Amino acid sequence: MFGFRDCGIMKKPLLNVIFASEKRKNVLLMLQDGFKKMQFILEAHNTTRQTILPQIRILEEHHLVAQLDDSYELTTIGKLIVDEMKPLLETVKTFNMDIEYWGTRDLSFIPSHLFKRLRELNPYQIFKPSISEINHPNKDLIETTASSKKMFAVTNIFHPNFMKLFTLWAENNVEIHMIFSQEFFKKLLEHNRDEFQQLLDNENYHFYRYDKLFHSLYFAVNDHMTLLAILRTKGWFDEKSVTSYSNTARKWTNELFEYYLKDSTRITEL
């Protein structure tokens, strides 16, 4: 009886090929934009041909990379894998920057389609105010909103300085779109009913009431930055918040606002 066996090179599991070597992983990511000459790869990795070539050979043997003269490009399989691999690495990077923060937050307020794209907040910072700043709204958000054309926010907390901020932004002709939780709206009417009525008469102000439960403190986005103040698990809260100045973060937060807007009611009169 005749049989045969694979006389080729023993293949490594693809996960090992991709992730067990930083050099192989980085070469794959580099080739996502198209073929690259060997000299470019060497300079980008600050390495020698003798060091990088064995890693590229492994990628070739596993049909992830193809050689053309002295250049390399992804194969069809390589393109498919790298297209899936990059978002995963970006998501891991997002949580890895401060896994203790993310692991202790109630993220249920983020809809699934945006939660999958949480990596778009990169690069971000976890902002922790000084003791003297704890009882004040975020200074950077106040200042950047004053120099913005528009600001969008959803809030669950009432701050005594809100009316002063609304006045400041009105003086700077900022277009404000803000969604209030039911609890916030109730407190606003109790403490600042007359002042709020004046704001309703300002065409730059667009206020809404969210008629469902909002499981977070607040989030806001303007022309310059985004800010997320997220509850801890079990409903606890602290002074930490996520801030980002990236275009992708602002786009992501605008989409989050639109998600809450569809279940909100415009406030036109009291």
Where is pLDDT greater, at 41 or 234? 41
Average pLDDT on 177-201 reads 83
- Structure tokens given for 208: 């809404």
- Residue 147 confidence class, pLDDT cut points 50, 70, 90: very high
How does residue 153 score in pLDDT terms, banded at 50, 70 and 90?
very high
pLDDT level of residue 198 (50, 70, 90 thresholds):
confident
Determine phi and psi for 153, rounding to 5 degrees: -155, 155
Q: What's the average model confidence in pLDDT over 165-190?
A: 87
Of 228, 205, 227, 203, the residue nearest 216 (C-alpha)? 228
Q: List, in sequence order, every residue forming a beta bridge with 36; answer none if it has no partner.
A: 72
DSSP SS3 for 64: coil
Radius of gyration of the chain (CA): 26
Task: Return d(Cα 79, Cα 96) in angstroms, integer.
Answer: 25
Q: What is the pLDDT of residues 1-33, one digit of tens each?
A: 334 344 445 567 888 898 989 999 999 999 999
Domains of the chain: 14-87 (1.10.10.10), 97-266 (3.30.870.10)
DSSP 97: T
What pLDDT was estimated at residue 135? 59
Mean of pLDDT values over 85-110: 94
Question: 268: Cβ–Cβ under 8 A, 6 or more apart, which residues?
Answer: 200
Answer yes or no: is pLDDT of 161 > 80.
no
Nearest Cα to Cα of residue 134 among 244, 235, 238: 238
Mean pLDDT over each residue of the chain, to the nearest integer:
88
User: CB within 8 A of 24, min separation 6: which ones?
Assistant: 17, 18, 55, 56, 58, 59
Judge whether 56 and 65 are in contact, CB under 8 Å: yes
Q: What is the pLDDT of residue 130?
A: 66
Of 68-72, 201-205, 247-251, highest mean pLDDT? 247-251
